[in-house]
Amino acid sequence: MKSKLSILIIEDDKYARLNLREILSPYGILEEAADLETGFTKLANGFFDIVLTDIELGSGSGVDIIPTIIRKGSHCIVVSSYEDDDIIEKAYTFGASHYLSKHKIREQLPVYINKYLQSKNARFEKFLTEEFITQDADTIEELKRLCEINLKNQNLFISGPTGTGKSLLGKLIHDITHPEANLVHLNCSEFSENLLESELFGHEKGAFTGADQKKDGKLKLANGGTLFLDEVATMPLSMQQKLLKALDEKTFYPVGSSSPIRSDFTLVSATCENIQEKILLREFREDLYFRLSGFHFDLKPLNERCNDIDLLVKFFQKKSSRRFVIKPEALEAMKKHAWPGNVRELSKVCDRFAQSLTGVVDLNLVKKTILPQMNSKIPAPHGTEWEDYIENHGLRSLISQIEKRAVETSMLKNKGKITACIKDLKISTSAFYRILQEHKLHC
């Protein structure tokens, strides 16, 4: 994976800057600052993979800017002829990765820049071999392009069916852009509107009933790192408006507070729903979508990359503590399955294979395993069978099993398309996700 770096050089000596520019120009796009004040301004307005700073900068010390460099998520390299041990220790304590001597800079600097690039490339290779298993050429090429973009403090929108690896991709982007900062995750479908506001923005003590102590919101906790908003399409419209305002102004107010908080972070949003359809139905704000989708990545469902099934099965076989063998005809049948739950569903199926009585998976076992199974039989809606079931298990259990069966059937019919299922079932988005969570369904 080729990477074009964005690099800031903070150096007050003109000839030293020219020397650094000559060394670094093959690695990417360079910007320069001739004094500390300009360096702070550049960091406030731009995003850099690497920042190189001298120590003696006229009226200021390069050590003073290191905390800001680290807070912005940049890799910091000090280049100086200043050899005081206390200053070197302070630079490393503040977060500098390397302290290099100007006298040997032409020999040393390319080595450390290449090490930085290798670490990024190694993270990407690990992603493809240990996390997101695929041999789909289009997907790999698009992933490479995405990882070459400088996404620090930018917005990425990931779409794709449930179980395709959106969270894994979000984690990869975080590791590449903010390797030493926080990754803050929030699933928007898990909270009511009022609780979601508190989760996002935080609240003051006494702001509402039950707020017995102050709480920092996810936007504040993500400062200098990455905020991952999962299932963002489930967010109520009123909350969408508040989030849009916070993103536009880069400030927000905790619930019950009149003091604004500023936070800079890379925002990764994800949804398994058809976002364009949600916009047409006026269930999702178009202006918020444009704000969230500075870059958009759409993950293919598993049934559009069937050649990955063989690769994934081998991966899950190696991960399993109990070995099992899949016969060729069984594997062919698996490739023809719709896989509405995508890779997550395939992983669960392989778990069941490992737990089965036989270590040889044949066609018959595949058919039994990938068909939806009920935990308990639902009685027919006539005679006294319902009354008997309710007497033994309760009304709530009966309703719960009916909901589970209806959602499973709809997911198979609609090939895992969430919006189509919700429309067919004529239930709210929150009700649909409640059923998924209650029964741990892998849609």
Tell me the per-residue pLDDT of 136-162, one tens digit each, with 9 for 90 and over. Answer: 999 999 998 888 787 878 899 999 988
User: Which residues sit opposite 255 in a β-bridge?
Assistant: 203
Tell me the per-residue pLDDT of 276-296, one tens digit each, with 9 for 90 and over. Answer: 989 998 999 999 999 999 999
pLDDT at 373 over 50: no
Task: Write the CATH number of the domain with boundaries 303-370.
Answer: 1.10.8.60
pLDDT at 383 over 80: no
For residue 229, what are the contacts with CB-CB under 8 A and spacing of at least 6? 186, 188, 267, 268, 269, 270
| Per-residue confidence (pLDDT) for residue 353, from 0 to 100 | 93
132-298: which CATH architecture?
3-Layer(aba) Sandwich (3.40)
| Per-residue confidence (pLDDT) for residue 295, from 0 to 100 | 94
Between CA 125 and CA 106 the distance in angstroms is 29
Residues 202, 217 contacting (CB under 8 angstroms): yes
* Across 187-196, average pLDDT: 88
Query: Taking Cα atoms as reference points, which of 179, 185, 178, 213 lies closest to residue 199?
Result: 185
Look at 315 and 211; give whichever has higher pLDDT.
315
User: Which residues sit opposite 75 in a β-bridge?
Assistant: 50
Label residue 382 by pLDDT band (50, 70, 90).
low
Between CA 333 and CA 345 the distance in angstroms is 15
Residues 268, 177 contacting (CB under 8 angstroms): no
Question: What is the 3 state secondary structure string of 263-316?
Answer: CCCEEEEEECCCHHHHHHCCCCCHHHHHHHCCEEEECCCHHHCCHHHHHHHHHH
Query: Taking Cα atoms as reference points, which of 106, 232, 227 lies closest to residue 174?
Result: 227
Q: Domain spans of the chain?
A: 5-119, 132-298, 303-370, 385-439
| Per-residue confidence (pLDDT) for residue 394, from 0 to 100 | 73
Q: Do 5-119 and 303-370 share a fold?
A: no
Residues 236, 228 contacting (CB under 8 angstroms): no
User: Which residues sit opposite 153 in a β-bridge?
Assistant: none
pTM for the full predicted model: 0.70
Tell me the per-residue pLDDT of 388-415, one tens digit each, with 9 for 90 and over. Answer: 667 666 777 788 888 888 888 888 788 7
pLDDT at 241 over 90: yes
The number of C-alpha atoms within 13 Å of 2 and in the hemisphere containing its C-beta is 6
Task: Write the CATH number of the domain with boundaries 5-119.
Answer: 3.40.50.2300
